[in-house]
Amino acid sequence: MRGHGQGRGTVGELGEFGLIRELTSRLTTTPAVRVGPGDDAAVLSAPDRRVVASTDVLIEGRHFRRDWSTAYDVGRKSAAQNLADIAAMGAVPTALLLGLVVPADLLVTWPAELMDGLRDECQVAGAAVVGGDVVRGDAITLAITALGDMQGHEPVTRAGARPGDVVAVTGWLGWSAAGHAVLARGFRSPRAFVEAHRRPEPPYQAGPAAAGLGATSMTDVSDGLLADLGHVAEAGKVRIDIRTAALDVPGQMADIGKAVGVDPLQWVLTGGEDHAIVATFPPHVKLPARWRVVGEVQAPSAAAQVTVDGEPWRGAAGWDHFGG
């Protein structure tokens, strides 16, 4: 019989404490971690005297599929989603906590590789997994809480956009949605888009950098550019216009669009899971090369709060997680 340390067998066979040992044995730490996993709570440095916190829940079948993504990629992606929320406040991610629901008959390799993915994505962002809880249940469910430090910046909320500000994006737009369209039709390529769907690459450093550059509002693109800018427009009581000519639609994305009969602009404007960062800046701010100006903030009007080339967008703007 092989040792459980190899991750053999089911989580039911391994038991709660065995599983926790297996999962925590995979973790790495950072200097910010004062007390790591295994006690009543973790203790972390918060040098700025302000801590940033965000929680997301992901359920198998709804937010990820085991036949489309490895456990490792689910870990990378779900960590990325939360760490991007921290960056989008202008903060530096420091830690992640995991609440995990697993069926008893799940092989230990799955949560073990999930944890590897969470750990590695944390390392990309400069953070560490510091704690969590594992319970038995029918549906694999991840509840992830990310923490961060403001490092002297003021939090950049969704409110604060002013007429005349430019709207700028950094990161990827529509790549995950295009990859999803490929996978949904049973294909595995083009690889770059499938990979983008499986493992987004949020521009973590751009969040604190934008705060330092004087961003007036900021959010991560999780529900789609138009939907998330809708929150910015609503919170700031402004109108936002996006110029499609300024958006980047890569040739290969256009090819996928042709192949599956979808306007790729739909992916760029309404695809969410790349976790790009969108922010508004005063017009005089000189933006680093990785930011792309895609629109401008206008005075509020009776028309739609977010427009595309001056008109309301006729596609589906984001989605309601409870609808459909």
Stretch 265-324 residues interacting with its own copies (CB under 8 A): 320-323
Residues contacting residue 55 through CB under 8 Å, at least 6 positions apart: 82, 143, 144, 145
Q: How far is the CB of 176 from its own copies (least distance, A)?
A: 18
74 binds its own copies, rule: CB under 8 A: no
- Touching its own copies, residues 95-154 (CB under 8 A): 95, 97-101, 104, 130-139, 141, 143-148, 150
Euclidean distance between the first and the last CA atom of the chain, given in angstroms as a whole number: 47
Residue 177 vs 277, nearer CB to its own copies: 277
Rule CB under 8 A: choose which of 22, 73, 85, 201 binds its own copies: 85
Rule CB under 8 A: choose which of 17, 67, 188, 289 binds its own copies: 17
Residue 130 vs 194, nearer CB to its own copies: 130
Interface with its own copies (CB under 8 A), residue total: 73
HSE-CB of 66 using CA atoms within 13 angstroms: 13
Per the DSSP assignment, residues forming a β-bridge with 135 are 101
55 binds its own copies, rule: CB under 8 A: yes
Residues contacting residue 34 through CB under 8 Å, at least 6 positions apart: 42, 43, 44, 45
Residues contacting residue 120 through CB under 8 Å, at least 6 positions apart: 72, 75, 76
238 binds its own copies, rule: CB under 8 A: no
176 annotated as ligand-binding? no
Cα separation, 33 vs 218, whole angstroms = 28
Rule CB under 8 A: choose which of 52, 122, 210, 265 binds its own copies: 52
Residue 231 vs 243, nearer CB to its own copies: 231
Comparing C-alpha atoms, which of 216, 223, 236 is closest to residue 85? Answer: 223
Give the annotated binding-site residues for ATP.
132-133, 158, 222
